[in-house]
Amino acid sequence: MMLVWRTTAEWRARRRALAGHTIGFVPTMGALHQGHASLVERCRRENEIAAVSIFVNPSQFNDPSDLDRYPRTLEKDLALLESLGTDEVLAPDAREMYPNGYRFRVAPDEADRVLEGVCRPGHFEGVLTIVLKLLNLVAADRAYFGEKDFQQLRIVSDMARDFFLNTEIVGCPTLREPSGLAMSSRNALLPPEDRERAAQLYRILTQSSSPAQAKEELEARGFAVEYVEERWGRRLAAATLGRVRLIDNVPAADAARA
């Protein structure tokens, strides 16, 4: 039977009862899709206990309207997690996770203030702060993150290593819809007429001969492009279609070369 924990005190008591078991952990902000399901399924295979968190973290949103619009589908999420064999779910509110407000926080290095770090001021500070809180609470053997948020995966991995956390950070491949669109909770905000257009982001990233060409082609198709760059062996992009901000990345070696 899946158990759902709403307070950190109740969860910490439960965590003590799980001592001696291998625990895998998937942190999420809810609005779950098959990409999340793939993380939970891998977590379930590789650990005795599969734990998932659902928490829409206010500190990582630099735009209050973006926080307000973020999809919240808790009951549907819980039903999916139970069907996947999840054992433990942490679903606290902001008062539980920030009992003293946003008083203490983890700041990324200046070198991390690129791409998402520039486009979304304060975003990674919020991400690192909540991830550190969750990793300390769950004390998992492994935590699973998708490669769609590739820069986030890198920074979280570095933080876990630098703070000597015992949790192994496991990166998992991006799942895509048949069109190639990377699965994302934000896809639910796309109107039907934009869904196929959104898939052009992936196709252009993989088929363009250079980041500059990819940016030009995306803009020609109506995307407002924030960046297309190659770093860390990946070609990464962020672009807005209508009111929905999309990010994606592909291995740079797989991108077309002129």
pLDDT, tens digit, 9 for 90 and up, residues 162-194: 999 999 999 999 999 999 999 999 998 999 889
Give how far Cα 27 sits from Cα of 43, 141, 211, 242, Å: 11, 13, 31, 28
Residue ranges of the chain assigned to CATH 3.30.1300.10? 185-248
- Output the pLDDT for position 54: 98
Between strands 23-28 and 88-90, the pairing is: unpaired
Neighbour tally for 257: CB within 10 Å: 9
pLDDT score recorded for residue 254 = 73
Report, as residue numbers or ranges, the catalytic residues.
Answer: 36
> pLDDT grade, residue 63 (50/70/90)?
confident
Whole-angstrom distance, CA of residue 30 vs CA of residue 188:
12
Mean pLDDT of 120-133: 96
Q: Does the pLDDT at position 139 exceed 50? A: yes
- To the nearest whole percent, how much of the chain has pLDDT over 70? 99
> Is the pLDDT assigned to residue 257 strictly greater than 60?
no
Task: Over range 2-20, report the average pLDDT.
Answer: 98
pLDDT of residue 256: 62
pLDDT at 193: 87
What is the pLDDT at residue 14?
Answer: 98
Nearest CA to 148 out of 216, 26, 234 is that of: 234
Class level of CATH domain 3-172: alpha beta
**157-164 average pLDDT score:** 98
pLDDT at 258 over 60: no
Low-confidence winner among 34-43, 60-69, 85-94, 95-104 (lowest mean pLDDT): 60-69
Q: CATH 3.40.50.620 in the chain, residues?
A: 3-172
End-to-end CA distance of the chain: 55
CATH number listed for the domain at residues 185-248: 3.30.1300.10
- How many Cα neighbours within 13 Å face the side chain of 236? 16
What pLDDT is stored for residue 253 in this prediction? Answer: 80
**How high is the mean pLDDT of the chain?**
95
What number is the average pLDDT over the span 56-66? 91
d(CA 181, CA 195): 8
- CB contact burial 223-252 (16+ within 10 A = b; e otherwise): bebbbbbeeeebbbbbbebeebbbbbbbeb
Region 112-137: mean pLDDT is 96
Confidence of residue 62 (pLDDT cuts 50, 70, 90): confident
Instruction: Provide φ and ψ at 88, rounded to 5°.
Output: -130, 135
Q: Bridge-partner residues for 99, per DSSP?
A: 101
Looking up tokens 């991400």 gives 127
